[in-house]
């Protein structure tokens, strides 16, 4: 798909990585719409930004009505919104919290897996009903393979990869592709907040390329997934060779 002139929705486009994706798509000539719970800063003047909880089905439906009225049919969705959370399943050193909390499990699943499902299903329905050939790009993570200390986050990302495969098989005959992007650890503000300097240094040491991914390298993979019309039902790993 040539992104020039196409309406592309970026969920989580106000985040540190999402904003890079937005800029990359704008540079490629796309008509970008950002969906995020927070107001984005520094967007190009022609980017439409809507504040919405993408795990809320009614809110998503209303946002898509606005997009349809102002930008027409959606040709691509980049599902980049999410929440990184680390918490051990069992802790013997903290008597106040012996096991993973149900509340943080539910919040992490909602922010990652449920949100991807709700928005992806709504956009796929619109693509199908308007006979629009398009692509849904979902964000997984290297953690989908099972990163110790991230039970909820890893489960959510593994679920996203499974959904992507299912969607590719179901929607392919309608001309709708589904691709997952699975970054390793990316040099963003959210990564620095979620991990200690010691943990980050250890990750760099264990990565064959000896560094974290640059946000622009993730944006390049997203552009590839959108532009290559014969890629679907797969997960593109961008992890620098790191194996968890």
Nearest to 180 by CA among 121, 125, 136, 243: 136
The verdict on domain 7-237 having CATH code 3.40.50.720 is: yes
Confidence of residue 96 (pLDDT cuts 50, 70, 90): confident
Q: Per the residue annotation, which of 11, 135, 137, 153 is the catalytic one?
A: 153
* Cβ neighbours around 146 below 10 Å, total: 13
* Residues 6 or more apart whose Cβ sits within 8 Å of residue 215: 16, 17, 20, 186, 187, 188
User: Over the stretch 11-37, which tens digit does the pLDDT of each residue have?
Assistant: 999 998 999 999 999 999 999 999 999
Angle at 18 between CA 16 and CA 20, to 5 degrees: 80
Distance separating alpha carbons of residues 153 and 157, to the nearest angstrom: 6
Residue 193 has pLDDT above 80, yes or no: no
Contacts of 121 (CB under 8 A, 6+ apart): none
Summarised one tens digit per residue, pLDDT across range 147-164 is 999 999 999 999 999 999
pLDDT (average), residues 70-88: 95
Helix (H, G, I), strand (E, B) or coil at 78: strand
Contact 16, 190 (CB under 8 A): yes
Question: Do 157 and 141 touch, CB atoms closer than 8 A?
Answer: yes
Q: Print burial letters for 89-102: b (CB count within 10 Å at least 16), e (below 16).
A: eeeeeeeeeeebee
Strand partners, 134: 176
Query: From CA 244, how far away is CA 242, in angstroms rounded?
Result: 6
The answer to whether 167 is a known catalytic residue is: no
Model pTM score: 0.95
Residues with Cβ within 8 Å of 99's Cβ and at least 6 positions away in sequence, in order, are 89, 90, 91
* DSSP string of 27-75, one letter each residue: HTT-EEEEEESS--SS--TT-EEEE--TT-HHHHHHHHHHHHHHH-SEE
Backbone region of residue 241 per phi and psi (left: phi > 0; alpha: psi in -120 to 50; beta: other values): left
Which backbone phi and psi does 32 adopt, to 5 degrees?
-95, 140
Domain boundaries, the chain: 7-237
Q: Give the model's pLDDT for residue 189.
A: 80
- Alpha-carbon separation of residue 150 from 142, 188, 215 (angstroms): 11, 19, 22
Candidates 6, 10, 7, 1; CA nearest to 218 is 10
CA 76 to mean position of chain CA atoms: 13
The per-residue pLDDT for 69 is 97
What average pLDDT does the segment 40-48 reach?
87
């Amino acid at each position: 798909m040539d992104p020039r002139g196409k309406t592309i929705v970026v969920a989580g486009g106000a985040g540190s990585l999402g904003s890079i994706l937005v800029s990359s798509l704008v540079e490629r000539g796309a008509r970008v719409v950002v969906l995020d719970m927070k107001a984005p800063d520094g967007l190009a003047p022609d980017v439409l930004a809507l504040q919405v909880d993408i795990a809320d089905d009614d809110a998503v439906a209303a946002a898509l009505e606005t997009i349809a009225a102002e930008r027409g049919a959606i040709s691509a969705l980049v599902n980049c919104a999410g929440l990184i959370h680390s918490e051990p399943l069992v802790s013997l050193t903290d008597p106040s919290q012996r096991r993973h909390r149900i509340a943080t499990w539910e919040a992490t699943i909602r922010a990652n897996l449920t949100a991807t499902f709700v928005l992806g299903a709504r956009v796929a329905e619109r693509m199908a009903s308007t006979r629009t050939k398009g692509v849904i790009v979902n964000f997984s993570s290297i953690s989908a393979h099972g990163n110790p200390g991230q039970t909820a986050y890893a489960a959510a990302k593994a679920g996203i990869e499974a959904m992507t495969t299912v969607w590719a098989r179901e929607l392919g005959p309608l001309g709708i592709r589904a691709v997952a992007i699975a970054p390793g650890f990316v040099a963003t503000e959210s990564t620095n907040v979620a991990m200690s300097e010691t943990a980050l240094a250890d990750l760099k040491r264990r990565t064959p390329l000896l560094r974290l991914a640059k946000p622009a390298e993730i944006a390049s993979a997203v552009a590839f997934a959108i532009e290559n019309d014969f890629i679907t039902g797969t997960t593109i790993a961008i992890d620098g060779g790191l194996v968890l």
